[in-house]
A and B are shown apart, each in its own frame.
Chain A
Amino acid sequence: MQLPQYKSVSNLTLEIKATLEMNFRRETVIGEVSNFTAHGSGHWYFTVKDSGAALSCTMWSNNNRKVGFVPKNGMQIIVTGSVSVYPPRGTYQLDVQEMKNVGVGDLQVAFEFLKEKLGKEGLFETERKRTIFSFPAKIGVVTSSTGAAWQDIIAVAKRRFPMVELVLAPARVQGEGAGESIAAAIAELNNYDDIDVLIVGRGGGSLEDLWAFNEEVTARAIASSRIPVISAVGHEVDFTISDFVADLRAATPTAAMELVTQDQNEMSNFLLSSISALNSLIDKNLASKRDLVNRFVTSPVVSTPVNIIRMNSQKLDLAVTQLDNNMSGLIKELKNRINSAFLHLKANDHKRILKKGFVFVTQDEKIVRISTELNTLKPFNLNFFDDKILIKGSNE
């Protein structure tokens, strides 16, 4: 029986090493940087990946010194190097000699693409932003029921304004279907008439973790929410598409809650200061009324009632004298007028004319002014200044 042929691990590995290093002496690869580490020694360790595979890379400090930038995770790069095998671990890697930045990675590209698309649709316009209700009674929350964000939100509500009510619509905020789950939760909360504001978000994480908030389905759900939305994705530096679409952006879920809730301590202070203001105001008001009464009561006129009477009787006397004076003046004037009228009448007395030798004729108690009016057949009078003489008619 023939012994089976075998190789030691080392021998096989060395053969692999020889084959790989012989055949892949100079390769140029394009991919996205991830797991980038700049070691204290100056060497770079990272992975270049695409949707199907990942390639471990090292770039020694003598080589990376010539690269004009420090790669970041997500960055799309082109690297050139040789494949080497590291026998103790049985791993292979690319020893990178050159590195070029070809721009942003797929997620970044997708982000920029969606941002531009929705921006063109006007979804980020300031005019679309609604005012966030400053004193909400009910806050709708879309986040994971098991995440830190939800606990943070509860803690802020308890600390600042426990009169508020929280309604959680749990959603997946990471991984497959997260965008759809968030969108459904937003739509669900929109069925409630009494919810004043929505907080949609999660705690911090990598770009991949936060990706659900860069998805179109999430952005559209926020844009079409009837209730104003605060985007609260725990990522202080970078913005998500949700941040752009929402009515307000908060850096973290905690910050969002602080924006919409009133501080109960501030409110207590306001109430306490109102109470003391009311007290001092009513005191002041009463004091000013008391002053008024005091001034009146202590005024010399009020304090001695006799003074009032005296003062008033004096006034009365004065008035009577005034009236007297006015009356006697009036009477004197009337007398004068009557006298002058009398004198005038006297001057026109007809008897003074008769005395001069005139006579006037009356018949039937009427003065006869025209000769033809005299009926000589009837009796008439001749009136002298001292007496009248009856003349009998000629037919008698």
Chain B
Amino acid sequence: MSNPQNEVSHFKEKLKRIEEITSFLEDQDLDLEQAIKLYEEGMKLSQECLSSLQEAELKITELKNSFKTN
């Protein structure tokens, strides 16, 4: 089972990277090879994030401890 902590922080990192890539691509002086690499990376991350959003299922844990009085 995947660790939600990592899943969400990966998700968050991906969002940050997507923003970064978009701002890099705004620079028209970027050489062609770099621009295409960034574009491909950005598209891949966006798709990944979209599908992990769509597939997400709420995980609930209920602790059963002695402090649950009565």
Contacts and interface: CB of A to CB of B under 8 A. Distances in A.
Interface of A: 135-138, 145, 154, 157-158, 161-172, 177, 180-181, 184-185, 188-189, 194, 264, 267-268, 270-272, 274-275, 277-278, 281-282, 284-286, 288-289
Given A135-B12, A168-B62, 17 more contacts: A137-B8, A154-B58, A162-B56, A165-B58, A165-B61, A167-B62, A170-B62, A172-B69, A172-B70, A181-B69, A185-B65, A188-B67, A264-B53, A274-B18, A278-B21, A278-B25, A285-B32
Contacts of B36: 282
B18 A285 contact: no
Contact of B58 (A166, A168, A284): A166
Contacts of A166: 58-61
7 contacts: A163-B11, A167-B60, A169-B65, A170-B63, A188-B65, A275-B46, A285-B30
A270 B12 CA distance: 13
A271 B67 contact: no
B52 A163 contact: yes
A169 B67 contact: yes
Interface in B36-55: 36, 39, 42-43, 46-47, 49-50, 52-53
Nearest to B34: A285
Contacts, number: 122
Chain B at the A interface: SS class: helix
Contacts of B18: 271, 274
Interface residues of B, number: 41
Contact of A271 (B7, B8, B50, B61): B50
A135 B8 contact: yes
Interface of B: 4-5, 7-9, 11-12, 15, 18-19, 21-22, 25-26, 28, 30, 32, 35-36, 39, 42-43, 46-47, 49-50, 52-53, 56-63, 65, 67-70
A138 B39 CA distance: 32
B54 to A, nearest CB: 8
A286 B39 CA distance: 11
Most buried by B among A157, A163, A284: A163
Top 3 A-B residue pairs of the complex, sorted by shortest distance between their CB atoms: A184-B67, A137-B8, A281-B25
B63 A137 contact: no
B63 A168 contact: yes
A137 B9 contact: yes
B22 A274 contact: yes
Contacts of B21: 278
A282 B65 contact: no
A168 B61 contact: yes
Contact of A163 (B28, B32, B56, B60): B56
A285 B35 contact: yes
A170 B62 CA distance: 7
Contacts of A271: 15, 18, 46, 49-50, 53
A180 to B, nearest CB: 8
Contacts of A180: 69
Contacts of B15: 267, 270-271
B67 to A, nearest CB: 3
Contacts of A277: 22
Contacts of B46: 271-272, 274-275, 278
A53 to B, nearest CB: 28
A158 B5 contact: no
B69 A289 contact: no
B42 A274 contact: yes
A20 to B, nearest CB: 42
